[in-house]
Structure 1
Amino acid sequence: MNKVNAIFFKNKLKPIFGFICIVFIPILLLLISALILSKVFVNTVNYTTTILSTWVSMGLCMVILPYLFFKKIYGVSLAEFGISKITKKESIFCLISIVSLYGFLIIKTNFACTLLIIATLQNLGVVLAEEFFTKGVMFFQTKKICSNSVFRVVLCALVFAFVLHNAASPYINLLYRFPLALITGYAYLKTDKLYIPVMLHFINNMLSTGILK
């Protein structure tokens, strides 16, 4: 019985505990870094400092530190987190998406270029960090828990919708963010790369950005 329990702990409980740590420790660090940066920029709160804070805090806590941790423990490469050579089809999809998105936004905002640049920089930092974290990092860890692809997509989508965005309304998370995470999760599962999930997430965020409405 002890041997069975030891095997179960090694194969299941340990990866589950690791997943929980991987989810909540970066989020805790993100909150701490955001608090520190808010104190640093307390007298200079503007679009520039907001964008800088986003890139620094989210980039450090959700991208750099998790990657360095996994690289140290497992010797992973960026390719295992979805960053590898982009294919021709992926390039075409991203190019068409960008042209269509900005064509629409330029017309919608009546050529408000400054607002478009601000929204782009802010959303790009958020999207890159969240997709790297919820797809690259978490998908890598969920492989150690379960090989079922549907389970992995749903689990990571739940974390994205209800943990990363816990301050938002549960109904909005259920009806809006959870389906988005399922779609981007499926795209990541099919391509094993971050490009299309990032593009889909970026389009969604740009279209819902308040300053562009």
Structure 2
Amino acid sequence: MAMSTAEAASVIAANRPPDAVVISTMSSLRQFPRLSPSPLNLSCVPLMGGASALGLGIAIAQPDRSVLLLDGDGSLLMQLGSLVTVAGVRPSNLYHFVFDNGVWFEGGANFALPAADRISWTGLASAAGYAAAHSYPDAAALAADLDTVLAAPGPCLIRLDIDKDAADRTQWSGDNLQEETPDSQFTRMGDEARNVMRALQQSKVGQA
């Protein structure tokens, strides 16, 4: 049985290394920040498709910290080439979660992801050269294994089977369009990036 976005985010929050930088995008944006508030949280919005490159950059800049990237399947599909880029750099501290709910976000509505039933995210990651790739069908399986996964070297892709009929997937549709995007969504990533920079600088000063 598949898990909801909230269930998946809860398991990740419970296993989050205390000094980890976490990048959220798409459906995880509505769940993870409230479950695990931290100045080291960074929202990749409104930048669909950009989370994988953003996570790679932070992993390179912060090699002594775990970087947890909470990506969407539609988002990653926009930048499939980033899998090869990540594998080429091979950051051992990058853990790439893919919330696989079969949804493509486009213009304020959720639509079915093309060929969603034929895409193997673990297969793509392994073929690209990721150090490891795992798939979890439900929250219990993820919870039982995640601490071990995060203790192993990356880059690692973790595919999460998200319930395709859950409310967090069908909130918006062609007949139920999302309300106008608030201005804060266009400043959120910059504001949070500055918070992350300050937190990292303060940590560096404290270690000196």
For the superposition of Structure 1 and Structure 2, which TM-score range results when normalised by the shorter chain?
under 0.3
TM-score between the two structures when normalised by the length of structure 2: 0.24
**Structure with greater strand percent:** 2
**Structure with greater helix percent:** 1
Whichever of the two has the greater Rg, that structure is 1
